Structure 1
Amino acid sequence: MFYELSRRVGSVLGRAVYRPAIEGLHHIPAAGPVILASNHLSFVDSVVIPLAVPRRVRFLAKAEYFDGAGVKGALSRWVFASLGAVPVQRGTGRDAMAALREGLKVLEAGQAFGIYPEGTRSRDGRLYRGRTGVAFLALSSGAPVVPVALSGTEKIQPVGARLPRIAPIRIRFGAPLTFTGYDSMPAGRARREVTDRVMAAIGELSGQPPAEGYSERADAA
């Protein structure tokens, strides 16, 4: 109830202030598990997507967003808690797998789960190689993957900016991707191929130039 009220109020305010261009909402199933796999440009991406989608979307959020001090920390904690974000630790491979298992629980409960296959936000606007966690979730749960392309969010909360700015936003949702026939394939190869298909779909929607390697995490990401 609290989430829905927060989402409705935030959605109305966000649309009034930023007037986002939203395309393809009909591609998101009204019920059942679904993975929303998006490019990642800004801190605010995990706010923008849940406010645009007419059903609850759970995201993993780094634990620091819940632990900050002062007014800024309290505001961050309230925003991410209101959106139903799942706090996770980042660092080791064990932490990454624990985070993915939390995402799998969300999908097994029949909910929508958002993930950024790049792992961290792009600092130069290019689309980086996807990490295979999205494939682990898709192949383990059988949930469809809806590719998502954001543009403009990097101008709302640039790295180092203390306050959000007003800038045009565009959100595009693509046709769902389903993955079958991978059971007989080695797990590593299957996850790589699925991830590459997801990233190709995101790139087609976003129009971002591709980067050859992975996006490296910075302290402020």
Structure 2
Amino acid sequence: MFYWFLKFVALGPLLKVVFRPRAEGVEHVPTEGPAIIASNHLSYADWLFMPLVVPRRVSFVAKAEYFTSPGLKGWLQKTFFSGTGNIPIDRSGANAAAGALLSAKRVLDDGELFGIYPEGTRSHDGRLYRGKTGIARLALETGVPVVPVAVVGTDVVAPPGKKFGRWTRPRVRFGEPMDFSRYAGMENDRFILRAVTDEIMYEIMKLSGQEYVDVYAARAKSESRRGGPGGKGPQGDQGGDEQRKLAS
């Protein structure tokens, strides 16, 4: 109930009045049944504007610490993150990536929408980076469609490394659902996983108009801080906390 309260009463109407986000291709999001919503990741504001324009609830994974901290602050964190569609990473697997996969499967098994950022972290310079293959494994193991989506302008509203930026009208563009049933049973083939991931990233690139860089975002961000070849150097756009989603 808190999710819908924020979306339709407390937060959603305010965001719509102030920023007037534009949405294209929302009809490509299934009206029922499970689907993976695969998005680029420019800003912490992405998880506000993309679900805002989707009639259905979109769930993401978040660090378990947000749900287990003690005291009043911990309770407020848990209430906010669970109420805004986030679910804790299940770490009963071998690592956080396996735990995220388990959590994502549970959302999809319930017939809901699961949101994921294949880059694994926010882009520090506005470019689109190489996707992690966790999304391909999830798609092949569950057999659900993948809906590519591009969020544009959120890095202006909330630039990496800053809480506030400049006003603009964010745009959210959804592409047609992608069916990977032809690869059923091949989720352990690393070449298939890479091919599926690259196909998804190509669709996101077409929707976003971003320059594509065939390097993992976390590595490029690290090199950027050191002034290396993977980014624009310490004087360029950089920063932002990593939000790893289903790391490969």
Normalising by structure 1, report the TM-score: 0.88
Q: In structure 1, how many angstroms separate the alpha carbons of the residues matched to 2:3 and 2:68? A: 20
State the match for 1:173 in structure 2: 174
CA contact (8 A) 2:32 2:111 kept: yes
| Aligned CA distance change for structure 1 residues 127 and 68 (closer, same or farther; 3 Å) | farther
Q: Please tell me the residue identity of whatever aligns with 2:133.
A: T
Classify the secondary structure of the residue corresponding to 1:31: coil
Q: In structure 2, how many angstroms separate the alpha carbons of the residues matched to 1:93 and 1:157? A: 35
Range moving further from structure 2, 157-166 or 77-86? 157-166
State the match for 1:220 in structure 2: 241
Query: Unpaired runs of 5+ in structure 1?
Result: none
Range moving further from structure 2, 178-187 or 123-132? 178-187
Q: In structure 2, how many angstroms separate the alpha carbons of the residues matched to 1:119 and 1:3? A: 24
CA contact (8 A) 2:88 2:103 kept: no
Q: Report the Cα offset of residue 130 of structure 1.
A: 0.5
State the match for 1:203 in structure 2: 205
Query: Unpaired runs of 5+ in structure 2?
Result: 223-239, 243-248
Classify the secondary structure of the residue corresponding to 2:217: coil
Q: Please tell me the residue identity of whatever aligns with 2:7.
A: R
Q: Report the Cα offset of residue 24 of structure 1.
A: 0.6
Tell me the matched-pair count. Answer: 220
Report Cα offsets for 1:159-217 as digits up to 9, x if no partner: 33244653320100110001122146552122111111110100010010010211016
Q: Report the Cα offset of residue 67 of structure 1.
A: 7.3
Report Cα offsets for 1:64-85 as digits up to 9, x if no partner: 655789x998876554332120
| Aligned CA distance change for structure 1 residues 56 and 201 (closer, same or farther; 3 Å) | same
Q: Does 1:57 align with 2:58?
A: yes
Q: In structure 1, how many angstroms separate the alpha carbons of the residues matched to 2:68 and 2:167? A: 27
State the match for 1:6 in structure 2: 6
Q: In structure 2, how many angstroms separate the alpha carbons of the residues matched to 1:2 and 1:150? A: 24
Q: In structure 2, how many angstroms separate the alpha carbons of the residues matched to 1:64 and 1:116? A: 20
Q: In structure 1, how many angstroms separate the alpha carbons of the residues matched to 2:107 and 2:31? A: 16
Superposition map of 1:184-199 within 5 A: 185=186, 187-199=189-201
Q: In structure 2, how many angstroms separate the alpha carbons of the residues matched to 1:33 and 1:4? A: 19
Identity of matched residues, %: 47
Q: Report the Cα offset of residue 155 of structure 1.
A: 1.8
Q: In structure 2, how many angstroms separate the alpha carbons of the residues matched to 1:212 and 1:47? A: 27
Classify the secondary structure of the residue corresponding to 2:128: coil
Q: In structure 2, how many angstroms separate the alpha carbons of the residues matched to 1:28 and 1:40? A: 19
Q: Does 1:150 align with 2:121?
A: no
Task: Name which one, 1 or 2, has greater alpha-carbon Rg.
Answer: 2
Q: Report the Cα offset of residue 158 of structure 1.
A: 2.0
Classify the secondary structure of the residue corresponding to 1:194: helix
CA contact (8 A) 1:11 1:52 kept: no
Report Cα offsets for 1:5-31 as digits up to 9, x if no partner: 221122222111101111011000111
